[in-house]
Structure 1
Amino acid sequence: MQTSKLRPVFCLSFNKNFARNITVNNTVVKETEETIPQGKSWREIPSLPSLPIIGQLHHLLPGGFLYNLSPMEFMTKMNEMYGPITRFGAPFGAPPLVILFDAESCAQILRGENWMPERPGFLSLQYYRNSYKKNKSELAGLLTDHGEKWKKFRSMVNPAMLQPKTIKLYSETLDEVAQDMITRMKSIRGEDNTIKNKLDVEMNLWSLESIGVVALGDRLNCLDPNLPEDSPARKLIKVVHDFFTVSEALDFKPSLWRYFSTPMFKKAMKVYEDQENMTKYFVDEAIKKLKTKNANADEERGILEKLLEIDKTVAHIMACDMLFAGVDT
């Protein structure tokens, strides 16, 4: 199989018994000369040395060669040491991982999934939605549901989400967002013509503003330099930023939250609740505007409006997921 040295592009949680064959025969996938007739066993996949009880944890502790590395540095190190496919036995109850660094293999894995994939990722958010929150719903969303529940939710929202003609409704507004972003970046450049602010934060503002147009049906004004600190939009910006901070700490770093309530776990539950409440606020504001809108039977309806026709709870959940996924990607 041809491989290329790429940044990490795919992480997959695996059962310890067997790893999926990474050279699946598929008419859609580019054929390769080298194939593996059967899936590799878990132990055959190259990985870090392990110790009894603590597994691979010692590599992440002070003195270990992976200590204090950022997620990207960690992945780069694993790629350099073990090549395009490796495994990592995450500590403290986290599911073990198989990590792929080869784009073709990633595509084959995804295309080999069935109609009801198991794709765990935001486990702390899943715990909040399914166990922690008081007013739980039957369906938790595309980010946190799996199997039959995921299929049911996906079937409900597909008619609203996957209509190419609907995208045209947002093209003009999204172009305005892009132009506003360019204006903002020009305004924050220094005398040497470089941007002093953190570029990832700036791009998060642009992506949140863009996905907000689709998920919430209106501009949030994230790019406004004079946006009041106590405004709902500013609060949403902060809570979305906090979401990725706490989820990285709980879901992708060693943490004991699965055994007892840690300070970071308590903070995460509050962040997830705040994000849910802020999204509901903006959805409710959109509903008020829709009620005052002069309806035209021939006019194409937006995604949020179509989701509200299915169910208000579905619209809330899907808007939350769109904000998370939209900013993350």
Structure 2
Amino acid sequence: MFSKLLYRKRTLIARKCTQAKCHALSKQTLRLSSSSAPPGNILIQEDETVQHVKPYSEIPGPRAIPILGNTWRVMPIIGQYDISDTAKVSFELHREYGKIVKLSNLVGRPDLLFLYDADEIEKVYRQESVTPFRPSMPCLVKYKGDVRKDFFGTLGGVVGVHGEPWKKFRTTVQKPILQVQTVKKYIEPIEDVTKDFISKMLAMKDENGEMPSDFDNEIHKWALECIGRVALDTRLGCMDPHLPPDSEPQKIIDAAKYALRNIAIMELRFPFWRYFPTTLWTRYVANMDYFVE
């Protein structure tokens, strides 16, 4: 959850893309129209280059092998990619294959389609209408829907649901959080936290003016402090320079980091956890339970 506050993703992963959908998507382009629609409206019109559209099968990407498909590429030891570092994997795919990449034939899950062009990403979002289908994080869905259904009930959250339930949840939460007066209310509190963080950064610099190797943990502390200030209307003490490793804020950070960094491993490697509790799944549940308890 903390990484989302720090980085703005420009990569969209279309979870299940059929050839027909991609072909239809490529045929259309977004254009502003001032004659047939009010200002600000965006219309979808046929592009004059429609005859140059290529089929879904020609989207570049790693070549699959029989039986193992592309799943072997994210396996330990023999794999090509370290899936625990999804940012690095995404960078390598973009560098090798270009602005649109297909990672197909993954055991137990649909193809992944990566887009690295902001204009094309906008087209995908515009095509989704008000009930998008974005199946993601089955492990989180299983945790909320099966393991801790007693706590979450039918509240799957924005990530855990799609279609009509997603629309209902999004409509409910966006009204208060997207209001300008709500945003303005937290500008000064977040600025105070950030000033403390900057002061801490200046004190942490070494003789070369660089941050320590574990600086990402300090960023997570800043993120958690901001979340606590907004969600709980209080300071959690994450900016304390002597915050002990067994403190509650640090335990929250560690639990979140473990859960987020292992989601890709559970999702893209062989999904044994769906059928029996693997070691990784058991530890994932334990870390998620820390937030619930």
Residues 1:242 and 2:258 aligned together: yes
- Uncovered stretches (5+) of structure 1, i.e. residues with no partner: 1-6, 278-329
Residue 63 of structure 1 deviates from its aligned partner by 8.0
Is the CA contact 1:178–1:206 (under 8 Å) kept in the aligned structure 2? yes
Residues 1:123 and 2:138 aligned together: yes
Give the aligned partner of residue 17 of structure 2. 15
Give the aligned partner of residue 218 of structure 2. 202
Is the CA contact 1:23–1:105 (under 8 Å) kept in the aligned structure 2? no
The Cα offsets for residues 257-306 of structure 1, whole Å up to 9 and x where unpaired, read as 233321111111121221233xxxxxxxxxxxxxxxxxxxxxxxxxxxxx
Residue 64 of structure 1 deviates from its aligned partner by 5.9
- Provide the rounded CA distance (Å) in 2 between the counterparts of 1:83 and 1:41: 17
Residues 1:94 and 2:109 aligned together: yes
Residue 18 of structure 1 aligns to a residue whose secondary structure is helix
Q: How does 1:37-116 map to 2 (within 5 A)?
A: 41-61=55-75, 66-68=80-82, 70-89=85-104, 91-116=106-131
Residue 93 of structure 1 deviates from its aligned partner by 0.9
- Provide the rounded CA distance (Å) in 2 between the counterparts of 1:37 and 1:219: 58
- Provide the rounded CA distance (Å) in 2 between the counterparts of 1:127 and 1:186: 43
Cα 1:180–1:22, aligned 2, differ >3 Å: closer, same or farther? farther
- Provide the rounded CA distance (Å) in 1 between the counterparts of 2:46 and 2:95: 23
Cα 1:171–1:60, aligned 2, differ >3 Å: closer, same or farther? closer
- Provide the rounded CA distance (Å) in 2 between the counterparts of 1:156 and 1:105: 28
Residue 257 of structure 1 aligns to a residue whose secondary structure is helix
AA in 1 matched with 2:225 = E
TM-score of the superposition, structure 2-length normalised?
0.80
- Provide the rounded CA distance (Å) in 2 between the counterparts of 1:158 and 1:13: 24
The Cα offsets for residues 164-221 of structure 1, whole Å up to 9 and x where unpaired, read as 1011221111111110110111111112221123332222222222222222222222
Aligned residues between the structures: 271
The Cα offsets for residues 94-138 of structure 1, whole Å up to 9 and x where unpaired, read as 331111121211121112211011223322111111122140412
Is the CA contact 1:177–1:206 (under 8 Å) kept in the aligned structure 2? yes
The Cα offsets for residues 62-119 of structure 1, whole Å up to 9 and x where unpaired, read as 7867254743343333223322112112533133111112121112111221101122
Pairwise CA RMSD of aligned residues?
Answer: 3.0
Give the aligned partner of residue 202 of structure 2. 186
Residue 159 of structure 1 deviates from its aligned partner by 2.3
Q: How does 1:198-277 map to 2 (within 5 A)?
A: 198-277=214-293
Residues 1:25 and 2:29 aligned together: yes
Is the CA contact 1:121–1:251 (under 8 Å) kept in the aligned structure 2? no
Residue 195 of structure 1 aligns to a residue whose secondary structure is coil
Residue 238 of structure 1 deviates from its aligned partner by 2.2
TM-score of the superposition, structure 1-length normalised?
0.72
Cα 1:117–1:40, aligned 2, differ >3 Å: closer, same or farther? farther
- Provide the rounded CA distance (Å) in 1 between the counterparts of 2:289 and 2:140: 10
Residues 1:151 and 2:167 aligned together: yes
Identity %: 28
AA in 2 matched with 1:199 = F
- Provide the rounded CA distance (Å) in 1 between the counterparts of 2:72 and 2:264: 20
- Provide the rounded CA distance (Å) in 1 between the counterparts of 2:103 and 2:10: 14
